[in-house]
Chains A and B, each alone.
Chain A
């Protein structure tokens, strides 16, 4: 019988089956962020991953001046 999959948390390795896991997705001005929250059975956050996808690049315009 295989043991349940585990994940490293601030309290060490914990079985995924002992955790409540959910994602929070936010759209900001410059980025979309996805946060995965892991809570133990007491509701304490024991792990929180985040991904931020940069949506808005930094363009800068190169202008040519007028002669005369």
Chain B
């Protein structure tokens, strides 16, 4: 039986859980070091003309949509299911779709930013979809299946 070099799957999961800290980062207190609380994540919509991507570090209202029925900052992400693992992949997906009701947005939008509103609005991920305009709408971003290979965030 040989050893195999690998990043431990449990570590990937614990990164998603905030269980490791290799350097000093300024964070908003999670109440207790031994029983920290879960951060709140939010989802904000952006115009198709915005330039969000890998270099995005935090939420900004610049180029966020401003249509009727939309509140700056977006909606709170439902996070009822903690990160978990399958095989060698750790993953997490919001436990409900993102939804806006009564939304009218005449200027095209095509991006949602998921960010950590507890921790100074730090960016988590940028997701694009087909450019949309909506009128008096229900706009729903349906989340993928929470599983290795499909989850919204995966550490492989």
Which residues of A are at the interface with B, using a C-beta cutoff of 8 A? 8-10, 26, 28-31, 33, 35, 45-55, 57-64, 66
Contacts and interface: CB of A to CB of B under 8 A. Distances in A.
B135 A54 contact: no
A30 to B, nearest CB: 5
Interface residues of B, number: 36
A47 to B, nearest CB: 5
B156 A35 contact: no
A27 to B, nearest CB: 8
B150 A57 contact: yes
Q: Kindly name the residue among A47, A51, A54, A59 whose own CB sees the greatest number of chain B CB atoms within 10 A.
A: A54
Nearest to A12: B136
Q: Kindly name the residue among A45, A57, A59 whose own CB sees the greatest number of chain B CB atoms within 10 A.
A: A57
Nearest to A44: B135
Contact of B140 (A8, A26, A50): A50
Interface in B111-136: 125, 127-130, 132-136
Given A54-B144, A64-B6, A48 B134 contact: yes
30 contacts: A8-B102, A8-B136, A9-B135, A29-B128, A30-B127, A30-B129, A31-B128, A35-B132, A45-B135, A48-B133, A48-B137, A49-B134, A50-B132, A51-B142, A52-B140, A52-B141, A52-B142, A53-B142, A57-B149, A57-B151, A57-B152, A57-B154, A58-B127, A59-B155, A59-B156, A60-B154, A61-B155, A62-B7, A64-B6, A64-B7
Given A26-B130, A51-B142, A57 B153 contact: yes
A15 to B, nearest CB: 15
Given A10-B135, A52-B132, A60-B155, 12 more contacts: A28-B128, A45-B135, A47-B137, A48-B134, A51-B140, A52-B129, A53-B142, A57-B144, A57-B154, A58-B153, A62-B155, A64-B6
Nearest to A37: B135
Given A29-B128, A46-B136, A54 B142 contact: yes
